[in-house]
A and B are shown apart, each in its own frame.
Chain A
Amino acid sequence: MAEGRVAEADDGPLDPAAGQTLQGVGAGPGLGCGPAHLLRRRPLNLRRRSLAPEARGHEVARLRSAAAAFEAELLAVAGELEAADEPGAALAVSLITSQRAMLRDDELLSRAEAAIVGQGATAERAVLTALQALEARFGALQAPTFRAIWRDIEDLGHALIGRLGGDEGRLAIDPGDVVIAHDLTVGELISLIKAGAAGLVLESGSMTSHVAVLCRSAGLPAVLGVHAALRSVQDEVRVCVDGESGRVAIAAAAEALAEWSPRGAAGLSSPPTSHQGLGVDEGSEGEGPIWRANLDFDWRSDHVGRYGAQGVGLWRTLFLYLGRDTLPTEDELAQAFSAVAERCAPAPVTVRLLDLSGPSDDAELPPALRGLGDCRGVRLLRHRPEVIDTQLRALLRAGRHGNIRLLLPFVSDVEEVRVIGARLERLRAEVDGPRLKLGAMVEVPALLLSLPELAEACDFLAIGSNDLGALLLGTGREHRGFERPTLPPALATAMRWTVDAGRAAGIPVSLCGELAAEPALTGALLDLGLREFSMAARLLPRVRAAANAWSATTGLEGAALGPAAVDP
């Protein structure tokens, strides 16, 4: 893999031929690769020369008709979305409703008109003047989530200015293009998704912006807030967007991923497999491996059911805490957990206790959870026991509605499992909840030294291969998402030990790192004795196909492939 470098926002001009990696905020799921398509807005006509009084009426009319045309266009997009009735459509429509209201708003339009009439500003400059006034007022707000709305308003205002210059035609892309732009409106983004964009890189935007919400809902890989994007990439250059790590690989850095595709991924350490002509096995419980879904931001939609997953293998609850000013209440959490548990019952819903992934999330977290540095996983108990208790109580309440399993992240000592177990038992008496299955993530290598004891203390184990591999081999997580996952011998051995410890104790062991979703490794993972996998639901079909191919070549199937121990 070519060595990329991370470009900082204030770097000088970059050599477009060299491979580079840009860092932004991952906002849409998955990996998207394709030729870059740069969307530049026309230079703004921001001349300061004052218009003659007799020309000002025409300028006001030009502003009004551009705003009205823009609004009508958004309305048409909303109408199409409502008719299509796709998942996420309701969300997009409500975003469009807000944007249309902003385009009619007196705080924007009347102020801009006043600048035209009073000072003879051009329509473009008048909108900018109105935006500047709004920026100052939004910047003075107290609540971060309300202050952040300014970015969406700014993007919308700039799009309106672009329309005044007549750049509506800029959205003509080819299917498979990775779109690079400064900003997009919701309407523009929807057009690009319909035109088949493979990925999106924006210079503006944050995790909580309208565009981010929509990318997640539409499943478009996206990285936002990449300051140098437009001057770092040239049209047609190959770009890969990793919406999970927030990285953008360009040119040589992306070429290494040129053959990265489910079907191109043969070989490595798995037995020879063929993906040709294999259907997806719908698989029933007890026959063959168990396939579960990971949940994060998308917990409200029924991906689990759509791709035939047997419940949830990993619910990253961090996403319930991000992008808000207050901690979620016990009721809110219980409601969320219950809804999914009910939907999946009797299959389990494995909820991972809040795992803060590091200081980089601070800006998105409620103030009560900031400044905890690298306080990973169950260590949070030392610093914020009340946050843990709220989550435990909510889980116990949700346990009445389905099969909730509690998974402890970043456990480094078996004692931590016992401490949480005792806490859970005490709270169970208070809220009158059912007994929940308790499991640990095997991701801190120290646990490998006490696997039998760990397996005795747990009802199930889940291997987190991302952290386990990185910590075991001393590699950073920085390139995660751009390298095809591999299975180094030490990691394979660690996983085999874990599987063996689970078998000996009669408890199930699952795998929920990125390795699980790599079809080229599915055979090797089955060879290690793993029989339970969890991954983004939409990736399940291709991995199941790889498992079928493996069972065809090894002659193992049915009961022989079945798990050693099963949670329904």
Chain B
Amino acid sequence: MSGTTAKRRVHVRNPMGMHARPAGRFVELARTFDARVRVRCRGEEVDGASILSLLMLEATAGTELELVAHGNDATAAIDALAALVASGFDEAQSYDGRGARG
């Protein structure tokens, strides 16, 4: 693939980490770019378009991720994805606890 490569380190900030819903948003956003996105975490590197791979990184709160994009819009992709992670995935609803009881 032609184009540029862009990289950025970013920390997961939301309390619940990059669990199912944040990872879903990450993948959804990554899909909107032509660039191929890879995510590095603790020495592992996975496909940024695979929610299951992202979940298996266990990116709990505070985890450092390195985002790497390669393609025409690599810089734009990295900017958008890094902003999403840094915003805590806009997770106003992230740790909405759980069921009614007692």
Contacts and interface: CB of A to CB of B under 8 A. Distances in A.
A297 B100 contact: yes
19 contacts: A26-B99, A27-B98, A28-B99, A90-B93, A95-B20, A97-B21, A97-B25, A108-B52, A134-B52, A137-B56, A146-B56, A149-B20, A208-B98, A216-B99, A296-B100, A320-B95, A322-B98, A328-B15, A357-B102
Contacts of A326: 15, 60-61
B19 interface: yes
Given A95-B21, A105-B51, A143-B60, A323 B97 contact: yes
Contacts of A208: 98
A182 B24 CA distance: 25
A307 interface: no
Q: 3 closest Cβ contacts across the A-B interface?
A: A98-B24, A29-B100, A319-B97
A153 B52 contact: yes
Contacts of A106: 47, 50
A79 B30 CA distance: 20
Interface string B47-73: 100111101101011000000000000
Contacts of A329: 15
A171 interface: no
A497 interface: no
Interface string B1-44: 00000000000000111011101110110000000000000000
B93 to A, nearest CB: 5
A64 to B, nearest CB: 17
Interface residues of A, number: 65
Given A29-B100, A300-B92, 15 more contacts: A26-B99, A91-B93, A97-B28, A102-B51, A141-B56, A143-B58, A146-B60, A208-B98, A217-B96, A222-B99, A245-B101, A296-B101, A300-B96, A319-B97, A328-B95
Contacts of A299: 97
B1 to A, nearest CB: 18
A326 B14 CA distance: 12
Contacts of B28: 97, 101
Interface string A475-499: 0000000000000000000000000
Interface of A: 25-30, 90-91, 94-95, 97-102, 105-108, 134, 137-138, 141-143, 145-146, 149, 152-153, 207-208, 210, 212-213, 215-217, 222, 243-246, 296-300, 316, 318-320, 322-326, 328-329, 332, 357, 364, 466, 536
Contacts of A296: 97, 100-101
Given A153-B52, A326-B15, A364 B20 contact: no
Contact of B27 (A101, A134, A207): A101
Contacts of B98: 27, 207-208, 212-213, 216, 297, 319, 322-323, 364
B51 A101 contact: yes
A107 B100 CA distance: 35
Interface string B76-102: 000000000000000011011111111
Contact of B97 (A102, A243, A297, A536): A297
A95 B19 CA distance: 11
Nearest to A364: B98
Contacts of A27: 98-99
Nearest to A140: B56
Given A97-B28, A105-B51, A153-B52, A210 B20 contact: yes
Contacts of B50: 105-107
B91 to A, nearest CB: 9
A86 to B, nearest CB: 14
The winner among A30, A101, A318 for most chain B CB atoms within 10 A is: A101
A94 B61 CA distance: 19
B102 A244 contact: yes
Nearest to A206: B98
B69 to A, nearest CB: 18
A29 B52 CA distance: 30
A30 B19 CA distance: 28
A94 B21 contact: yes
B15 A246 contact: no
A145 B17 contact: yes
A364 B101 CA distance: 13
A332 B15 contact: yes
A319 B99 CA distance: 8
Contacts of A300: 92-93, 96
Nearest to B91: A94
A149 B50 CA distance: 15
